Every structure is written in structure tokens, then in C-alpha cells.
Amino acid sequence: MSKSIQSIERAAAVLRLLARGPGRLGVVELAGALGLPKGTVHGILRTLTGVGFVEQDRGSGKYQLGAALLHLGTSFLDVNELRSRAINWADALASRSGEAVRIGTLLEGRALVVHHVFRPDDSLQTVEIGQLLPAHACALGKVLLAYDRAAATALGRDLERYTQRTLTTAAGLGPALAQVRERGWAADVEEMTVGVAGVAAAIRGHGGLVVGSIGISGAVDRLCDAGGTPRAGLVGQVQDAARAVSRELGHRW
């Protein structure tokens, strides 16, 4: 076994002390209990506060366990928070690419549309926020499945068919998701709707955790070249937008 990381052990000890509760603890009390310098404990608390595992009381300045710990494993980032942080970059992507933009998160194995920007041609379109898309058949969903093995496995062996090109087996989807992880973006070319293609990339939060996906979708002849491959320029724009939103959410490369 490789050497354990001391600062993570110390952070765990801080969390254990705070979990003993019920009261809040100050830096001095925590440092005393752990036999560590105040500055070290303060640094650990600041980091834990940054990721939401610890909260500081405004009045007393003392610390307690944060709300994010209670929701570990469920929703890491509120979807409405995600929309509000991503909205400028989603607009910019729609404006640059000329295509409709969606942001998705995973909900019970499907891709929930949490934000939708119209294609900027002023044609009649309706807001699709709240729609659930089949994750295996769209780029938005494939990105989410690629970074969530449990969700991908839970889909089962046989997947619903939408077009001739839908990947309908786990055996077919697996390599496609591996490819997404390898190149950092996903595509669907007429896999959900005939004539429509999509390109998406991952939105990452603190520590690199994937919290959503952002992508464009539109007519296959606009998004893809004659050979049916997504145009490199558009893929780059989608990846730029994903990086910008990730930066907004505090992800550092």
C-alpha cells in the first residue's frame, strides 16, 4: 500500500470531532484536541468549508458539519445553481455555434435538461427545461454515463431503440463511453432523432467531479461533415464552454 496522505487523515479527524457534536467548535478547540498547530487546522477548515463539508457560523465564527455532507452521494450541485452559474457560457456557446444548447444532469438513468438556450435564428422554439432524454441515445447523456459507471451499469443490457443508429446494447455502449472518456467529448449522430446530431462535453466541479454536461444539437448536416463526423470547430467550442463553466464552478486543472 502506498503511503497515506497526512492532510486527508487530519481532515478526517476534524470531521470526526465535529460529528461528535452537538455544539460547534472553534479553531482553538479543534487544534487543542488534535494536538496540531492552529494554522494547520485553519487551513484544513478553510478547504473543507470550500467544498461544503464544513460550515462556519457567522456570529460565533465556530465550525460545524456542512449540509453537503448530509447529501453526499445524492445531489452534489443544485441543478438550478448549475443553470445560474452556466447561463452566460451557454449563451456564448449558442451564439458562437449557431445551435441550440442544453445542459444536462443525470436523473434516474436519464438526462434531465436543466437549461436550454434556443438556436439563435429567432425561429419558433419552446423551452425544454425539465425534459428527460434517453441517456444512451444523446451526447448529453453519454457524457454523464461515461463518468458514472453505476448509472451506466444500472441501464441493463438492452436499451430502447429510437432510430436505426441507436446503441441498443450494453456491449455496444461500453466502448462508446470509453471513447468519450478518452477524447473528452461525446457525439450522437441520428441516434435519438433522424436528421439530428449532438455534441457534448463534461462540466466538472470541485476536485474534478462531473456534475453535468453541456452540448449543442441540431441538423446533422450542420453539425457533421460529409462523412458524418462532428465538425472539429464545433467540438472545440463545446469543450471551451464546458471548461468555462467548470472554471466558474471552481474546478482547477
Partner 1 sequence: MPVTDYYVLAIDQGTTSTRCILFDHLGRLVSVAQREHHQHYPHPGWVEHDATEIWRNVRRLVPQALAQAGADAGQVAAIGIANQRETTVLWDRRTGVPVGRAVVWQDTRTDALIEELAADGGHDRFIDRCGLPLATYFAGPRIRWLLDATPGLRARAERGEVLFGTMETWLIWNLTGGPDGGTHVTDVTNASRTMLMDIATLEWSDELLDGIGVPRAVLPEIRSSAEVYGKASAVLPGVPIAAALGDQQAALFGQTCFAPGEAKCTYGTGSFLLLNTGPEIVRSSHGLLTTVGYKIGDDAPVYALEGAIAITGSLVQWFRDNLGLINSAAEIETLALSVADNGGVFIVPAFSGLFAPHWRSEARGIIVGLTSYVTKGHLARAVLEATGWQTREVVDAMNADSGIALTTLRVDGGMTADNLLMQFVADVLDVPVVRPMALETVSLGAAYAAGLAVGYWPDLEGLRRNWHRAGQWLPRMDPDLRAAEYESWQRAVERTFGWHRIGR
Interface residue list for partner 1 (CB under 8 A): 67, 78-85, 87-88, 91-92, 94-96, 116-118, 120-122, 125-127, 129-130
Could you tell me if 135 and 141 are in contact, meaning their C-beta atoms sit under 8 angstroms apart? Answer: yes
Could you tell me if 134 and 192 are in contact, meaning their C-beta atoms sit under 8 angstroms apart? Answer: yes
Choose between 121 and 158: whose C-beta lies nearer to partner 1: 121
> Of 198, 196, 192, 155, nearest to 174 (Cα)?
155
Report in angstroms how near the CB of residue 68 gets to partner 1 at its nearest.
9
> Of 146, 144, 140, 143, nearest to 128 (Cα)?
140
Sorted by sequence, the CB contacts under 8 Å of residue 81 that are 6+ apart come out as none
Report in angstroms how near the CB of residue 181 gets to partner 1 at its nearest.
28
Choose between 122 and 182: whose C-beta lies nearer to partner 1: 122
**Nearest-angstrom CA–CA distance, 20 and 65:** 10
Choose between 76 and 162: whose C-beta lies nearer to partner 1: 76
Neighbours of 59 (CB within 10 A): 7
Choose between 42 and 118: whose C-beta lies nearer to partner 1: 118
Report in angstroms how near the CB of residue 45 gets to partner 1 at its nearest.
18
Report in angstroms how near the CB of residue 96 gets to partner 1 at its nearest.
7
Amino acid at 158: D
Report in angstroms how near the CB of residue 53 gets to partner 1 at its nearest.
13
Choose between 98 and 174: whose C-beta lies nearer to partner 1: 98
